[in-house]
Each structure stands twice: as structure tokens, then as C-alpha cells.
């Protein structure tokens, strides 16, 4: 499954520094706006201790983890929805992603300029929210104009449904609220809303970029962001991008672990971010194990067994009859597939 998260934010909030920590691809990290001229794409491995443990037991020829694509998009500015800065091009890049990682500057540093001169992450969040909402409003108004006449005067049920869905979203956007906040009652309404591919309907995580001393506890800027998003269906994560860039320089796991322990962290912010992005996309993992390969497969939470089989190969979904399933804990406990079978811990699951 080709899944993409887009990193957005104002210029100089730490987007490209964070991207560099996430990926082997190297975005230019410079102290001036628009230094990222083309969107940078990195394929990020999702850390999963279960996959490592399975590989230790099976000792396969190859190991395949799950991945998520991260797209670093140039800093947006006020007026981006009207083409200011590099707005239109990069708003299109955001539209192609499945979720948004919104980086907010929550650190003070007089050596790193801010486009508005002062540090206020809530204001910065609102600037980008507004630009995305304005772009979505353009989309909605165009759609409404196409179905309004049929919905009001004709007997077209589909046009009526679309008009009602579009109008609900339009009202929310005019109130300064994102499309993701609009509730829908039926599957048809939800499908009509999803088919719009609106920027503000995408799941979002606010990544608060803090200084080293606030990496564990956060700071007043983070608290302000928490208060601002308390009514949103959104996640928040605290990361010190500068620390993450230092961690990335260590060559061994032991060095990284020692450094993290010294500053009071159990896990790097990068790992936490990747895992959180995976959850943000409502994803889960199942594994296949054999001497040739141990592989992690991605599926959407709530899928049935045939759909999961289709992730491996489309023919598996079409011809699905049943699947032999082992719980991860049982595999770890008994050590081999044969041992699990002998213990009666393998189950056969139908559609």
C-alpha cells in the first residue's frame, strides 16, 4: 500500500530538519524561506519490535518491514491559497497525501528567523489552517454550483445528497472549521465527502518542535497548542528536531540508546513520529514468516481476512476460502510454526 504523509508548516519551523532525520534523502535545511523547491519524498521504515523478534526466531534470508512515504513540502505562507509564495504548487502536493504532519515551531532561537518575527505556534497553525480551508472552499463552491439546480428543482436523489453534503462542509469552512470536523450519518454521505479529497478532511498530527530542555516535558508553547486543538480530531507529538539530527549521527544502536537515556527519553522522536503517523492513517500490521522471508504487511483497521489476503496478492482475495492464523504471542512463546500447531494454537479463520 503506497501511503503518504505530507510534512507542512510555515518556513523555518524545522520541517526539512525533521525530514532529514526521518529519511536518508537529504532535503536542504537552510535559514531562509522556500529552500525546498521540489517536494522531497522519503520512504520511511516503520519501526516494529515484533518484526525483529520474528526474524531472530525464523532467521530468514530477507526481512521486509512496512513503510510510509513522507513528503517534505516547502513552507506555506499567508496567501498561499491565492498563489502567494509557492502556494498553489505545494497545496497540490498536499492534496496527494493521505495525512498531514503539521510542524509547529515551539522553540525560541534568535539565530533562526521567523517569517512573522515572533514565536506563536497557535497563530502559525491558524495561518495554515486558513489557507487550506480557503482552498477547500474554492473546491466546494465549484461543486455546489454544479449540483444546486438539480438538487433544488429536480428529482435527482444523488444531486440532493451531494448538495446537502457540500453545504454542510461549506458552512463549516465559512466558520473557520476544517472539513474533518463535519459529522455525517450515512455511508453515502461519508463517501460523497471522501470523494472530494479535501485538504482539511485529511487526518492531521501537530508536531511541536521544541528545544532540547523541553523534549520530555514540553513547554508553554506546547500547552497553548494543546488548548487550541482540544476540540479537533487531531493528535499531538513533541519532538526536538535538533536533538533528532544529533541522534541520526550516531552509528550504533547502543550510542543512540545511551544518548536518549541521558536526556530522559525511552525512544527517539523520529521513531515515535513514524509509529504515530502509521496509527494516524488507521493502519495495522500482520506478518508472514518463512525461511525465505519474514514480511510485515499493512492493512486498514477493520478489514476482513479476504481483504488482508488481497494485500499479498489480488488473486488471494478473489479465491479466498480460509486462512491459517497464529497469534504473535503464541509464535514467540513456542518458537516455530510446527510447535504452535502441535500445541493446538493455530486457528483457521474464514471470511
pLDDT in tens, 237-260: 999 888 888 887 777 778 888 888
Residue 205 · residue 277 · CB < 8 Å: yes
pLDDT value for 172: 93
Residue with the larger pLDDT of the pair 116 and 140: 140
Is residue 5 very low, low, confident or very high in pLDDT (cuts 50, 70, 90)? confident
Q: Does residue 109 come out as left (phi exceeding 0), alpha (psi in the -120 to 50 range) or beta? A: beta
pLDDT value for 344: 93
pLDDT value for 85: 47
What would the mean pLDDT of 137-144 be, rounded to a whole number? Answer: 92
The CA-atom distances, in angstroms, between 82 and each of 78, 87, 90, 141, 238 are 9, 7, 12, 15, 31
Measured CA to CA, the distance from residue 3 to residue 298 in angstroms comes to: 10
pLDDT value for 325: 93
| Tens-place pLDDT, residues 189-231 | 999 998 998 989 999 999 999 998 888 888 999 999 999 998 7
**Bridge partners of 205?**
101, 235
| Tens-place pLDDT, residues 84-135 | 544 455 567 777 788 889 999 998 887 776 666 788 999 999 988 888 898 8
pTM score: 0.79
Listed residue (30, 33, 32, 42) closest to 274, CA to CA: 42
Is residue 76 very low, low, confident or very high in pLDDT (cuts 50, 70, 90)? low
Is residue 74 very low, low, confident or very high in pLDDT (cuts 50, 70, 90)? low
Q: Which strand (E) or helix (H) includes residue 91?
A: helix 87-95
| Tens-place pLDDT, residues 12-66 | 888 888 887 776 544 444 444 434 445 577 778 888 889 999 999 999 999 998 8
Measured CA to CA, the distance from residue 292 to residue 61 in angstroms comes to: 5
Size of the chain in residues: 351
The C-alpha cell at 232 is: 479537533
Is residue 334 very low, low, confident or very high in pLDDT (cuts 50, 70, 90)? very high
Share of the chain above pLDDT 70, in %: 87
Listed residue (345, 316, 322) closest to 332, CA to CA: 345
pLDDT value for 122: 94
Neighbours of 249 (CB within 10 A): 9
**Bridge partners of 348?**
324
Listed residue (265, 259, 270) closest to 237, CA to CA: 270
Measured CA to CA, the distance from residue 97 to residue 99 in angstroms comes to: 6
Is residue 236 very low, low, confident or very high in pLDDT (cuts 50, 70, 90)? very high
What is the phi/psi pair of residue 251, to 5°?
-90, -25
Share of the chain above pLDDT 90, in %: 34
Neighbours of 159 (CB within 10 A): 18
Give one DSSP letter per residue of 261-285, joined into a string: HHTT-SS-HHHHHHHHHHHHTTEEE
3-class SS of residue 101: strand
What would the mean pLDDT of 168-183 be, rounded to a whole number? Answer: 91
Listed residue (197, 195, 95, 82) closest to 130, CA to CA: 82
* Helices and strands per DSSP (H, E), number in the chain: 14, 11
Cα angle vertex 131, ends 232, 186, to 5°?
45
Amino acid at each position: 500500500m503506497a501511503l503518504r504523509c505530507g510534512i507542512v508548516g510555515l518556513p523555518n519551523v524545522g520541517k526539512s530538519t525533521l525530514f532529514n532525520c526521518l529519511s536518508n534523502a537529504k532535503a536542504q535545511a537552510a535559514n531562509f524561506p522556500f529552500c525546498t523547491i521540489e517536494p522531497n519524498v522519503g520512504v520511511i521504515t516503520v519501526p516494529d519490535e515484533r518484526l525483529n523478534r520474528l526474524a531472530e526466531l525464523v532467521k530468514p534470508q530477507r526481512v521486509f518491514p512496512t513503510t510510509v512515504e513522507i513528503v517534505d513540502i516547502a513552507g506555506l505562507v499567508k496567501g498561499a491559497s491565492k498563489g502567494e509564495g509557492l502556494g498553489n504548487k505545494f497545496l497540490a502536493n498536499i492534496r496527494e497525501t493521505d495525512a498531514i504532519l503539521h510542524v509547529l515551531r515551539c522553540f525560541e532561537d534568535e539565530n533562526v528567523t521567523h517569517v512573522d518575527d515572533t514565536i506563536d505556534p497557535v497563530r502559525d497553525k491558524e495561518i495554515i489552517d486558513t489557507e487550506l480551508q480557503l482552498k477547500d472552499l474554492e473546491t466546494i463552491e465549484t461543486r455546489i454550483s454544479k449540483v444546486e439546480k438539480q438538487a433544488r428543482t429536480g428529482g435527482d436523489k444523488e444531486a440532493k445528497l451531494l448538495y446537502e453534503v457540500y453545504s454542510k462542509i461549506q458552512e463549516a469552512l465559512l466558520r473557520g472549521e476544517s472539513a474533518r470536523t463535519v459529522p455525517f450519518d450515512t455511508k453515502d454521505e461519508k463517501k460523497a465527502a471522501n470523494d472530494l479529497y479535501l485538504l482539511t478532511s485529511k487526518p492531521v498530527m501537530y508536531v511541536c518542535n521544541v528545544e532540547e530542555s523541553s523534549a520530555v516535558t514540553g513547554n508553554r508553547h506546547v500547552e497553548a497548542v494543546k488548548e487550541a486543538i482540544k476540540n479537533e480530531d487531531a493528535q499531538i507529538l513533541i519532538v526536538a528536531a535538533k536533538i533528532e539530527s544529533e541522534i541520526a549521527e550516531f552509528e550504533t544502536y547502543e550510542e543512540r540508546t545511551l544518548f536518549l537515556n541521558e536526556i530522559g527519553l525511552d525512544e527517539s522522536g523520529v521513531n515515535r513520529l513514524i509509529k504515530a503517523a502509521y496509527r494516524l492513517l488507521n493502519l495495522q500490521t500482520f506478518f508472514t514468516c518463512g525461511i525465505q522471508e519474514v514480511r510485515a504487511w499493512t492493512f486498514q483497521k477493520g478489514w476482513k481476512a479476504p481483504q488482508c489476503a488481497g494485500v499479498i496478492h489480488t488473486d488471494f482475495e478473489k479465491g479466498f476460502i480460509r486462512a491459517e492464523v497464529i497469534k504473535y504471542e503464541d509464535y514467540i512463546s513456542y518458537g516455530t510454526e510446527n510447535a504452535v500447531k502441535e500445541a493446538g494454537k493455530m486457528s483457521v479463520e474464514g471470511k
